[in-house]
Amino acid sequence: MSTATALRGDVLASQDFVIRKLDGAFGAEILGLDLGATLDDEDFARVHAAHLEHHLVVFRDQRITPRQHIDFSRRFGKLMIHVLHQYHLPGHPEILTVSNIIEDGKPVGLGDAGKYWHSDISYKALPSLGSLLHAQELPAEGGDTLFADMHLAYDTLPAHLRKAVDGKRAVHSYLAKYGQMQKDGNWRPQLSEQQLAQVQEVVHPVVRTHPESGRKALFVSEGFTTRIEGLPEDESAALLEALFAHSIKPEHVYRHRWQPHDLVFWDNRSLIHLAAGCPPHLRRKLYRTTIEGDAPY
């Protein structure tokens, strides 16, 4: 790879890279591609197609700057700015720092990001198309990220659950687990009025259609989905619990074991994810960009 020599804005004509399927239900790794250079249209089209087909691609060995990470992410759409501005990478509000590191008594990033299964920013009217998470510092032990395939979850839904979700809509709220996370750790500040105004709850279909592939996927998660519209509270809770349990069956899940300089790009319309956590004394830091998507239908 010629990352070290690629300057910002360089276009490396049709790079010689390999897309290799990972073991498991979904996911692929991309070897030999330099995201530090601007991809030509042909390479970009290959990456885009791989992302759609595999739902998650791992670009190995990306020694790129935050600027290059942002520039590459922007080719897929508008970037979302996370409501917790406290954890923006200084100078780069498009990047959310995900980290358990405390420096000078202050957290450098959001230490409990991904503690519950979720699809990024599903609590907005326009949830995320996909996210790109770039490893900066990895712990010697733990720190994996788990992903679950929500197309597979929909395709394998038992008949009674498929009937129960037909035509249903569910409420998504940023605050669903916020109070609990405030109790469990020190990462979640009190939200200002301005921040609260940015995270008003929204309603989305329980089953969405992927706008590019046309495939159906379950679109609920324990992290942000609070109730199903039109059902009594107890029925809504029981149905959500059954959907959450079904979504994360082992056969739907890929566990990403991070390698240095990995950049993982997943499709939030197809997958939910979870940070498995690591021993608190081991440093972990990653940078995340999040691309805005369409209104689910």
- Residues found near ligand SIN in the complex (CB under 6 A): 98, 113-114, 145, 273, 275, 286, 288
Distance CA 138, CA 98 (A): 11
- Sorted by sequence, the CB contacts under 8 Å of residue 196 that are 6+ apart come out as none
Of 118, 151, 208, 269, the catalytic one is 118
**Shortest approach of ligand SIN to residue 73 CB, angstroms?**
14
Q: How many residues appear in the chain?
A: 297
**Shortest approach of ligand SIN to residue 219 CB, angstroms?**
16
For ligand SIN, the closer of residues 34 and 109 by Cβ is 109
Of 204, 256, 273, 284, the catalytic one is 273
Tokens at residue 71, please? 């520039």
For ligand SIN, the closer of residues 145 and 173 by Cβ is 145
98 alpha carbon, distance to own chain's centre = 12
**Shortest approach of ligand SIN to residue 102 CB, angstroms?**
16
- DSSP string over 30-63: EES--TTSEEPHHHHHHHHHHHHHHSEEEE-S--
**Shortest approach of ligand SIN to residue 46 CB, angstroms?**
25
Burial of 185 (0-12, 13-18, 19+ CB in 10 A): middle
Of 23, 82, 97, nearest in space to 58 by CA: 23
For ligand SIN, the closer of residues 239 and 265 by Cβ is 265
- What SS3 string covers 76-124? CCCECCCCCHHHEECCEEEEEEEECCEECCEECCCCCCCCCCECCCCCC
For ligand SIN, the closer of residues 30 and 275 by Cβ is 275
For ligand SIN, the closer of residues 144 and 155 by Cβ is 144
**Shortest approach of ligand SIN to residue 273 CB, angstroms?**
6
Active site residue 288: yes
Distance CA 188, CA 19 (A): 38
Of 43, 71, 120, 262, the catalytic one is 120
Q: Which residues are catalytic?
A: 118, 120, 273, 288
